[in-house]
């Protein structure tokens, strides 16, 4: 069963427009998916009023949060998209923090004699509502200040580099609460990236609903480990490609999973 509950568009740090991403989903044969841009649902605002077509869509977002030295990402699904949704204010706070972080990155780079301007980053971001480190990296590449995005991440923007600014987001516990208040379900994204799995137990106590067990960089041992944790804590399992750009996501969109593994997640998305 081909599904994809984790992917990005140009509204955050993806390279495809909404229509292009959905076209890629259709071409791959993905039956159901969710666009999970960072801290914004602009993609769904764009889709509002458009005729329904395959694949089936589930409202989604990826909320960036901070926990100790970790940046923890919490996925939300099936929530209300109404203007008064409590999730909207959470996203607005994170978007403001993102803008401030980018401004500080540029200031620090300029102080280190790296001639990058905020306008360079904004131009690179284009239609993006959600600014982030990838936009700074791409602007550095376009200006010829680094060879490629990977090198920007490993040098100028890495911890200890002149352009490094730590993310300052809300706590993951607050993201879980905001998603629940908006009528949605929360899933911990790519748990294999966590430095400290202790946050999982805390988030379960805070009301976390699921775990992204099926993820491209999770090897068989990790998948088995997170499957066991999901069973232990009574969490549903989800699957996502985390697609941003074909140059970085060689596997493309879509994750092939057993229907029995994903059905509990889909069941939780049904209106009560």
- Rounded Cα gap, residues 69 and 72, in angstroms: 9
Are 204 and 251 contained in the same domain?
yes
pLDDT tens digit sequence for 219-249:
999 999 999 999 999 999 999 999 998 887 8
Strand partners, 243: 7
* Predicted model pTM: 0.89
Q: What is the CA radius of gyration of the chain?
A: 18
- Rounded Cα gap, residues 50 and 48, in angstroms: 6
**How many distinct structural domains can be found in the chain?**
2
Are 178 and 263 contained in the same domain?
yes
Helix (H) or strand (E) holding 264: helix 259-268
The pair phi, psi for residue 178, each rounded to 5°, is -65, -40
Q: What single string gives the DSSP state of each residue in 16-51?
A: S-HHHHHHHHHHHT--EE----BT--HHHHHHTTPP
Alpha-helical segments (H) within 79-213: 86-111, 118-125, 133-142, 149-154, 172-181, 198-206
Q: What single string gives the DSSP state of each residue in 54-117?
A: SSEE--EEEEEEEETTEEEEEEEES---STT-HHHHHHHHHHHHHHHHHHHHHHHHHHTT----
Are 245 and 123 contained in the same domain?
no
Residue 47 within any structural domain of the chain? yes
Class of residue 59 by CB neighbours under 10 A (exposed 0-12, middle 13-18, buried 19+): buried
Domain containing residue 125: CATH number: 1.10.150.650
Are 6 and 112 contained in the same domain?
no
**Does 82 score more than 60 pLDDT?**
yes
The pair phi, psi for residue 82, each rounded to 5°, is -65, 150
Note whether 229 and 200 are within 8 A (CB).
Answer: yes
Are 209 and 148 contained in the same domain?
no
pLDDT for the residue numbered 230: 98
The token pair at 137 is 């990296």
Tell me which residue range forms the domain holding 218.
2-91+170-268
Are 179 and 146 contained in the same domain?
no
Are 72 and 185 contained in the same domain?
yes
pLDDT tens digit sequence for 25-76:
999 999 999 999 999 999 988 887 666 676 899 999 999 998 987 889 999 9
Are 178 and 260 contained in the same domain?
yes
Q: Which residue has the higher pLDDT, 83 or 29?
A: 29
Are 181 and 74 contained in the same domain?
yes
pLDDT tens digit sequence for 109-153:
999 999 999 999 999 998 888 898 999 999 999 999 999 999 999
Are 249 and 179 contained in the same domain?
yes
The pair phi, psi for residue 16, each rounded to 5°, is -105, 145
Last residue of a domain, one of 154, 179, 196: 154
Note whether 199 and 172 are within 8 A (CB).
Answer: yes
Note whether 213 and 237 are within 8 A (CB).
Answer: yes
């Amino acid at each position: 069963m081909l599904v994809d509950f984790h992917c990005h568009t140009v509204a955050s740090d993806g390279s495809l427009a909404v229509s292009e991403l959905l076209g890629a989903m259709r071409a791959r044969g993905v039956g159901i998916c969710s666009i999970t841009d960072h801290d914004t649902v602009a993609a769904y605002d764009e889709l509002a009023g458009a005729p329904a077509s395959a694949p089936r869509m589930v409202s989604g977002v990826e909320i960036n949060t901070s926990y100790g030295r970790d940046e923890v990402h919490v996925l939300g699904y099936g929530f209300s998209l109404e203007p008064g949704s409590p999730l909207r204010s959470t996203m607005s706070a994170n978007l403001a923090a993102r803008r401030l972080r980018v401004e500080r990155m540029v200031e620090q780079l300029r102080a280190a004699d790296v001639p990058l301007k905020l306008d360079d980053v904004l131009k690179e971001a284009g239609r993006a509502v959600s600014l982030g480190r990838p936009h700074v990296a791409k602007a550095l590449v376009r200006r010829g200040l680094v060879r490629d995005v990977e090198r920007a991440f490993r040098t100028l923007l890495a911890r200890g580099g002149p352009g490094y600014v730590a993310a300052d987001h809300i706590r993951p516990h607050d993201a879980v609460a905001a998603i629940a208040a908006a009528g949605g379900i929360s899933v911990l994204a790519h748990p294999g990236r966590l430095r400290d799995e202790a946050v999982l137990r805390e988030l379960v106590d805070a009301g976390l609903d699921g775990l992204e067990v099926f993820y491209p960089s999770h090897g068989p041992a990790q998948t088995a480990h997170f499957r066991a944790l999901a069973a232990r804590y009574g969490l549903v399992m989800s699957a996502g490609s985390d697609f941003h750009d074909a140059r970085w996501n060689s596997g493309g969109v879509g994750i092939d999973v057993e229907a029995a593994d994903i059905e509990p997640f889909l069941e939780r998305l049904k209106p009560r």
